[in-house]
């Protein structure tokens, strides 16, 4: 019974580590979505540059948080909220029907 508990705890910890937020991959995925939307003419050049600037800010925030090799929950929450905000902005820009 004790060994079963140890094995279960090991799998739980390893699953938690593998589930941990990987912000760089999320950022890379978002960047590819932005580029594809721009190529398919769903974004204007101004919207594209705004989203790219926001990507740069998020990347700088990630690098700053990882500078000391420890990401606090507050830093993780800030980065996550910036990524969510960028995704919402991309969705908004893609669906607007303004003609420039």
Domain that holds residue 39: 22-95
Structure tokens at 73: 């929950």
Q: What is the pLDDT of residues 17-73, one digit of tens each?
A: 444 579 999 999 999 999 999 999 999 999 999 999 999 999 999 999 999 988 999
Structure tokens at 31: 């960047």
Residue 64: HSE in the Cβ half-sphere, 13 Å Cα cutoff: 11
**pLDDT at residue 63, as a whole number:** 93
Task: Evaluate whether residue 38 is within a structural domain.
Answer: yes
DSSP structure string for 24-39: HHHHHHHHHHHHHHHH
Task: Evaluate whether residue 50 is within a structural domain.
Answer: yes
pLDDT band at 96 (very low <50, low <70, confident <90, very high): confident
**pLDDT at residue 8, as a whole number:** 66
**pLDDT at residue 90, as a whole number:** 95
What is the value of pTM for the model shown?
0.74
Decide: residue 53, CB within 10 A, 0-12 exposed, 13-18 middle, 19+ buried. Answer: exposed
Task: Evaluate whether residue 16 is within a structural domain.
Answer: no
pLDDT band at 11 (very low <50, low <70, confident <90, very high): low
Task: Evaluate whether residue 2 is within a structural domain.
Answer: no
Task: Evaluate whether residue 41 is within a structural domain.
Answer: yes
Task: Evaluate whether residue 8 is within a structural domain.
Answer: no
The total of structural domains in the chain comes to: 1
Q: What is the pLDDT of residues 74-88, one digit of tens each?
A: 999 999 999 999 999
Which ranges of the chain would DSSP assign to H, the alpha helix? Answer: 2-19, 23-39, 45-65, 73-95
The residue ranking higher by pLDDT, 93 or 17, is 93
């Amino acid at each position: 019974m004790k060994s079963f508990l140890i094995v279960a705890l090991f799998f739980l910890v390893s699953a938690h580590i593998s589930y941990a937020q990987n912000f760089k991959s999320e950022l890379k995925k978002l960047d590819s979505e932005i580029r594809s939307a721009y190529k398919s003419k769903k974004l204007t050049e101004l919207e594209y540059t705004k989203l790219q600037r926001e990507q740069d800010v998020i990347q700088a925030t990630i690098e700053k948080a990882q500078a000391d090799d420890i990401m606090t929950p507050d830093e993780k929450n800030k980065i996550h909220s910036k990524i969510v905000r960028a995704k919402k902005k991309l969705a908004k820009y893609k669906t607007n029907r303004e003609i420039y």
